[in-house]
Chains A and B, each alone.
Chain A
Amino acid sequence: MSPSDRIVFDEVSKFYGEVLGVNRVSLAIPPGITSLVGPNGSGKSTLMNLMCGLLQPTVGRIRVLGVAPGDPEQLGRAVGYCSQHDAFPPGLTGLGFVEAFLLAAGFRRDEARRRAWQAIERVGLAEAAKRKVAAYSKGMRQRIKLAQAIAHEPRVLVLDEPLNGLDPMARAEVIALFRDWAGGGRSLIISSHILHEVDMLSDQVVLMNQGYVIAEGDIRGVRGEVTQPMQVMLRCAEPGKLAARLVQLDHVVEVQLHEDGGGLHLRTRDADGFYALLGRIVVEEGLAIETVTPLDDDVHAVYEYLIGGDGDAG
């Protein structure tokens, strides 16, 4: 994959006076869905605003599909942006809002109207398109912002907390839209604090804390970078027998039997090694395993390990 397919941060730092925004960020984000995860003030929005040219780096270089964020003519064609701020130019209808953006971009009136309708239908807001945005619910406003961001068919979509305020049905529709969008080799960058959705959605995650990128990559890969033991839950008929074998393994640091006698929890420093040996143990001991569930392969657990929070990335 060439740098013109990626969003590249090269040793980028951003300071607001004395205050750190992000520090020495180097990333090459490939096409697909990438989630930025981190607590308040971690630098997620700063990173998004930097790649959209809304902020300028104090030092370092950014290229979005090979385009410098300081070139709004090219960048605006390539990127669609949906801010977390629920604000709109006053007095516009949903259709007018999307259409105004397309007209300002330079589309002819008929083409702008066609594209605006197309985008609004795509986010399921056609019936409310001619109502004033001011009268929209929170979820409708999220969707009209999304329509505006995708209306010109950008190759990169940057969405700051895009699932906020959506009801479960709309959430499912929007997530489906994201998948469809990113499926065509395009890039979707989202920040979200709803971690199980990030987990379901993302091809890769960027974990941030206090202005630093502390881990990046696909979730399993990021988990692999963590030195803390990984948790696995097993449900089986004779957990005591299995536990006796498991505690003999060097990399297994803890085994806890379930109170109901139907399974166990273990913590291991070498998950791959554990999975490789498990099959042999099962055969040798003649055990019947019902389920094997890795408990740490979701972004929530990774987040908890790396940042030490409770998983609410807020």
Chain B
Amino acid sequence: MLAESEVTLASPGWRLRARQLTAIVRIELRQRLTGLRILPALLLALAPVGLLMLAGILIRINLAPGDTPSVAEAVKVFAEVYHTLVLRFCVFFGCAAIFLMLFRGDVMSRSLHYWFMSPVRREVLVLAKFLAGLATAGLLFTGTTVLGWLAIYIPAGFDQLGPHMLHGPGLRLLATYVGITWLACLGYGAVFLAVGQLFRNPILPTAFVLAWEGIHPFLPPLLKKLSVTHYLGSLGPVPVEVPLISLVAEPAPVPVAVGGLLLFSLAVLGLAAWRIRRMEIDYGSD
């Protein structure tokens, strides 16, 4: 006798999987974007905006009469803040907060079996959770990037905004930074999703990833290619200061940097998808 579900639920296939993917992304987004779960990542996203705005206001207040701060100088400051604070700290820890909990959070709340008992391929589940995490992190840190960018016009005045964005390089630069932000979320997201799945206690592996990304300037050129920072650094539209003692590697051309990061993320997601097929749930003893 066929159960009712088998009559109305479409046969397994790409159409059904696409519907499942969409449904799971929506459910996850609703959970990730509401409530206290989002708070740590939100604070990390707002921190650089606050800092840039505060700096802009202080510069503006302390301007000597006749001084006209240049937007180009502000763009350089933004580039430094973006690389050192936004990418290396806020996006890194924001992605850790979001992506580590995609599976770990369900294990900790003893609710992962609800997903595992759904008639859904586990690979679909990995992809759906990743996309939900990516959308959350991407939206948050795009907000950081755009608001932080707007703050650079505070010293020179917002009357510079229109000309710089529309007739100068502003729009192109901002679009590039937004693109880098999404790529950073993609790369760090994949890494932290896998870490959250592979390790019961993700603190040590996260510290390792942080250290690895931190020592990036001192890594030999071959090893540099195994870090997210290497690809992101190659994409920055405005050059930033590098540490004096560093092993210089040829910056990757944009297609190689973007393609490399995509491939790197895909490989890590593939590992996560392979791992989840063997993942077991055992919340406690009998």
Contacts and interface: CB of A to CB of B under 8 A. Distances in A.
Contacts, number: 128
Contacts of B1: 155, 184-185
A162 to B, nearest CB: 15
A106 B115 CA distance: 12
B114 A105 contact: no
Interface stretch (A42-50, A213-221, A225-233, A235-243): A42-50
Interface in A81-95: 81, 83, 85, 87-91
A107 B5 CA distance: 9
A101 B118 contact: yes
A296 B31 CA distance: 52
Contacts of A77: 3, 5-6, 9, 119
B286 A72 contact: no
A54 B9 contact: no
Given A56-B280, A91-B35, A154-B3, A45 B286 contact: yes
B131 to A, nearest CB: 14
A14 B24 CA distance: 31
A111 interface: yes
Interface in A2-46: 16, 38, 40-46
A180 interface: no
Residue of B5, B117, B282 with most partner-chain A CB within 10 A? B117
A104 interface: yes
A129 to B, nearest CB: 18
A106 B10 contact: yes
A55 B280 contact: yes
B286 A42 contact: yes
A104 B31 CA distance: 14
A2 B193 CA distance: 43
B282 A55 contact: yes
B119 A105 contact: yes
B117 A76 contact: yes
Given A40-B286, A77-B6, A81-B113, A89 B120 contact: no
A101 B119 CA distance: 9
B280 A105 contact: no
Contact of A16 (B19, B277, B282): B282
Interface string B66-87: 0000000000000000000000
Interface in B1-58: 1, 3-6, 8-10, 12, 16-17, 19-20, 23-24, 26-27, 30-31, 34-35, 37
Contact of A106 (B9, B109, B111, B281): B9
Contacts of B5: 77, 105, 152-154
Contacts of B23: 103-104, 106
Given A87-B111, A101-B118, A107 B31 contact: no
Residue of B5, B35, B114 with most partner-chain A CB within 10 A? B5
17 contacts: A41-B285, A53-B116, A54-B281, A55-B280, A55-B282, A56-B278, A72-B122, A73-B12, A78-B3, A83-B113, A88-B109, A88-B111, A90-B37, A105-B9, A105-B20, A105-B120, A184-B1
Interface of B: 1, 3-6, 8-10, 12, 16-17, 19-20, 23-24, 26-27, 30-31, 34-35, 37, 106, 109-111, 113-122, 277-278, 280-286
Given A72-B116, A106-B120, A153-B3, 10 more contacts: A16-B282, A43-B286, A54-B281, A72-B119, A83-B110, A87-B110, A89-B114, A101-B114, A101-B118, A152-B9
Interface of A: 16, 38, 40-46, 49, 52-56, 70, 72-81, 83, 85, 87-91, 100-101, 103-108, 111, 148, 152-155, 184-185
